[in-house]
Chains A and B, each alone.
Chain A
Amino acid sequence: MTEAVVRSTGGLGTGDGTVGRVASGELDTAHGVVLYLDDISVSFDGFKALNRLSLAIDAGELRCVIGPNGAGKTTMMDVITGKTRPDEGKAFFGQTIDLTRLSEPEIAQAGIGRKFQKPTIFEHHTVFENLELAMKADKRVRNALFARLSSAERDRIADMLRQIRLHDAADRVAGLLSHGQKQWLEIGMLLMQEPRLLLLDEPVAGMSDDETARTAELFLSLAGKHSVVVVEHDMDFVSKIARKVTVLHEGAVLAEGDMETIQANERVVEVYLGR
């Protein structure tokens, strides 16, 4: 209840006019930073899930976030995407967009896409429809009532189907896909939103080695165009794609740097890698 009230007093959020509109060109990354978390604290019943966490992601960067269970990785994602409100601290998308004042759909419209740990797709819709629904568009009720796919939009979906290697399964019901295919479909849905920042929670969990390698390739090709934050347990995968790694521990940043520096850090070895 209170969550909803806080959201509605945000001023930007409740009117039909603002939610669902395509927020284009509003993201300002003039200073090179796409995501900026400053002193974020979140506690649940006294347990500090995030403890004065500060983090900055550069535009076009591919960042890996690792940390033991309970380090606050998922809570961090929740704060960025509007699912959880921080008790304290600032969260900015670019220079101007205050994430703590927006609802989940508004943040998605602003250009942040999120992939969940467990693949969340629309199981009763076809693969094609999944991509159609995710596609960047006017997402208000009024538009959805009369929307027809243009040929340019069909082409975009067809391109994405090829990119995620599901072009033969376009009309298959998504619930019938293999686990790895579902992961790829979800990634495809994120890309259809044309996000500026992608948050990926354990994107290669349950994938075969071959699929994992292809996913690493895909992510590396995304960096530059998009900023990507990957939360991952799979160390092989992280070392394959990571340029910069952030280690979380007990809700705060423990260490930050390239993979070698991290692996050499004694504290990191102690809390995480050593185990």
Chain B
Amino acid sequence: MGSIASTFGRLYGPRGWVALGAAAALLFGVVPVLALAVPDGSPFHVSQYWVTLIGKIMCYAIVALAMDLIWGYCGILSLGHGLFFALGGYAMGMHLMRQIGREGQYQADLPDFMVFLDWKELPWHWWNTDQFWWAALLVVAVPGLLAYVFGYFAFRSRVKGVYFSIITQALTFAAMLLFFRNETGFGGNNGFTDFKRILGFTIATPGTRVALFAITGAMLLGTLLLGRYLVTSRFGRVLAAIRDAESRVMFCGYNPVHYKLAIWTLSAVLCGIAGALYVPQVGIINPGEMSPANSIEIAIWVAVGGRGTLVGAVAGAGIVNGAKSFFTQAFPEYWLYFLGALFILVTLFLPQGVVGAVTKLRSRSRGAKPA
């Protein structure tokens, strides 16, 4: 136990741990109390809207962390991470559809869209999805397995750089077309929605929402610590070495294929879990999540926050999505212009992202003081 504690203690300095503790207090103490115990009229009340919005952004932040591990540290730009996110979301969505029971529009045993298509029984891949543990297994196994098989062939054939990015983009696009089709049994372009319950709890109640919010927060902090452990281990140093000089890594006796495959698969699994947490909070999953633009946006979050820093990924996901929810309400037609401008500005003026710029400013002011 002692060694585990000291291993964790090394991950961040005292300041980092204080910041993490503060975040944990906010996520598990302050927000739940303000949302549940403080009455509606009070200025301190946190509304359901905010709980859901922040919960959603935290899911995105987990995806951004997963992206930073593979892109920032290993130099592999995936433009298909939205696919893994959506697959996790769909696996959870199937379970939530089964949880609706006979309370749907048609009051049938089958999900509404299947009744509408005049299907008489569940397709094979819906087997056992009424069991939560099975759905949870799918959330991890489907993105993980797909990533492993895809990565195995891509990395073994030494597909690299922009070629790899393009293939991942094609992969998510192909999956989107597949999920759009009614006969694949994923609800076509409407996807899944109208969820009622999760693990027996009614989804729409404040209590369930706050619980989902806290679970997502725990997952986010856990992912951050796991990522930090990985990148400060020898494993992480090998990843960065692969990014910088892969041939030297090979001639040092490391097989880069195994290292890439490990971090790539882990990254996909984290996205799947984020997707599974996202769906009950947002209340819908459809093939739009697999659109190429979504996956590109994930890369933008990480670039804005700062690659290869982990906290940068979290900050980037927060900044871009916070701005997005503001803009799409205030000036809906300008959001895409804003996103494009943001990306250009960051590339031009903050090549290391927001976190890189802050670090630079700090070291500059520190350097200026003694002089």
Contact = CB atoms under 8 A, between A and B. Distances in A.
Interface in A1-36: 1, 3-4, 8, 16, 19-20
Given A4-B157, A124-B244, A134 B258 contact: no
B234 A147 contact: yes
A81 B250 CA distance: 10
Interface stretch (A45-53, A136-144, A223-231, A258-266): A136-144
A108 B233 contact: no
Interface string A213-236: 000000000000000000000000
A16 B156 contact: no
Interface in A98-140: 103-105, 108-109, 113-114, 116, 120-125, 129, 132-134, 136, 139-140
Given A125-B237, A145-B235, A108 B244 contact: no
A145 B237 CA distance: 10
A124 B237 CA distance: 10
Contact of B234 (A1, A114, A144): A144
Given A16-B258, A193-B253, A124 B248 contact: no
A125 B232 CA distance: 12
A191 interface: no
Interface string B213-236: 000000000000000001001110
B253 A108 contact: yes
A134 B237 CA distance: 11
Contact of A104 (B237, B238, B250): B250
Contacts of B262: 141
Interface string A34-66: 000000000000000000000000000000000
B247 interface: yes
A46 to B, nearest CB: 24
A174 B99 CA distance: 57
Contacts of B230: 145
Contact of A122 (B240, B255, B258): B240
A16 B251 CA distance: 17
Contact of B254 (A20, A123, A124): A20
B53 interface: no
Given A1-B157, A4-B157, A124-B244, A141 B259 contact: yes
Nearest to B263: A141
Contacts of B249: 133
Contacts of B245: 120-123
Contacts of A83: 247
Nearest to B262: A141
Contacts of B235: 141, 144-145, 147
A133 B258 contact: no
B241 interface: yes
B237 A132 contact: yes
B207 to A, nearest CB: 39
Interface residues of B, number: 26
B252 A133 contact: yes
Contact of B240 (A3, A116, A124, A189): A124
Interface string B281-321: 00000000000000000000000000000000000000000
A81 B265 CA distance: 29
Contact of B156 (A8, A129, A147): A8
Contact of B258 (A108, A129, A136, A140): A140
A130 to B, nearest CB: 9
B233 A125 contact: no
A125 B252 contact: no
A139 B252 contact: yes
A125 B241 contact: yes
Nearest to A149: B234
B156 A134 contact: no
Given A121-B245, A141-B258, A141-B259, A133 B251 contact: no
A3 B159 CA distance: 12
Given A4-B157, A4-B158, A120-B247, A133 B255 contact: no
Contact of A105 (B240, B241, B253): B253
B62 to A, nearest CB: 21
Contacts of A144: 233-235, 238, 254, 259
A103 B247 CA distance: 12
Nearest to A143: B234
A116 B247 CA distance: 10
Given A124-B244, A133-B234, A19 B258 contact: yes
Given A103-B255, A144-B234, A193-B253, 7 more contacts: A1-B157, A105-B255, A105-B256, A124-B244, A132-B234, A133-B238, A139-B253
23 contacts: A16-B258, A20-B253, A83-B247, A105-B250, A108-B253, A113-B251, A114-B251, A120-B248, A121-B248, A122-B241, A122-B245, A122-B248, A123-B244, A124-B244, A132-B234, A133-B234, A133-B252, A141-B259, A144-B234, A144-B238, A145-B234, A145-B235, A147-B233
Interface of A: 1, 3-4, 8, 16, 19-20, 81, 83, 103-105, 108-109, 113-114, 116, 120-125, 129, 132-134, 136, 139-141, 144-147, 189, 193
Interface of B: 156-158, 230, 233-235, 237-238, 240-241, 244-245, 247-256, 258-259, 262
